Structure 1
């Protein structure tokens, strides 16, 4: 199922390894990891089941601030986020929001280069985590 503005790729690794590889790649780029949220663990604590689903929230002010200077509401979608999850067939997936789509969503104009750099960074991080 395609979701507008969301990029999803298959990982060659199980969910935990994919997330650990992603977190390591983020840190290697000098970015700050703000949170690692295990949704499946939260579901289990509530007596519910959920396939592996983990969210990583990360970034730095130099990357996102130009977009927020153009339109502060984009701050609801920043810092960057990536979701590692296991689909119904047991495959591991990695999903993230396309920065250009976020910019369009918030009516940001004139910051295409910033969105492009963020998109390239996310693609690089994703490839490091999944291959």
Structure 2
């Protein structure tokens, strides 16, 4: 069962290449990359096994600030995040939170809907471009 507000797309690439391609799309759009966290490496450092799992924290002040101006608690969900992971069957997935879901979660009104819609459309485009064959 999919988590509420989570968009997950299968990648035709390996985990590292998927994240590298997605990060390149973010940077090409002039967005900020705040952190890239390798959960599998963290698990290994603790003596635990975890299939490839990386989190990218990224965003744009122009896109996210209007949502936080409406309700500063939105900052718990921003900047945006993308998770790339390999499942037990060896399939690779790219998951993101839907900005429209974030807006609904925080009870934001119609005034922020255009921002959330634009963020969602932009994110969908980034994912699509990152996962298309070269």
The TM-score by the shorter chain falls in which range?
over 0.9
- The residue aligned with 2:95 is 95
1:1-131 aligned at under 5 Å gives the runs 1-109=1-109, 110-131=111-132
- Aligned-partner Cα distance in 1 for 2:80–2:107: 18
Structure 1 portions without partners, runs of 5+: none
Q: Secondary structure at the match of 1:111?
A: helix
- Which runs of structure 1 show a deviation greater than 4 angstroms over 4 or more consecutive aligned residues? none
- Aligned-partner Cα distance in 2 for 1:8–1:121: 15
CA deviation vs aligned residue, 1:9-55 (integer Å, no higher than 9, x gap): 00010000000000100000000100000000000000000010000
Over the aligned positions, Cα root-mean-square deviation in angstroms equals: 0.7
- Aligned-partner Cα distance in 2 for 1:61–1:36: 18
Structure 2 portions without partners, runs of 5+: none
**Number of positions where the alignment pairs a residue of Structure 1 with one of Structure 2:** 131
CA deviation vs aligned residue, 1:32-90 (integer Å, no higher than 9, x gap): 10000000000000000001000000111111000000011000000011000011110
- Aligned-partner Cα distance in 2 for 1:123–1:15: 19
TM-score by length of 1: 0.98
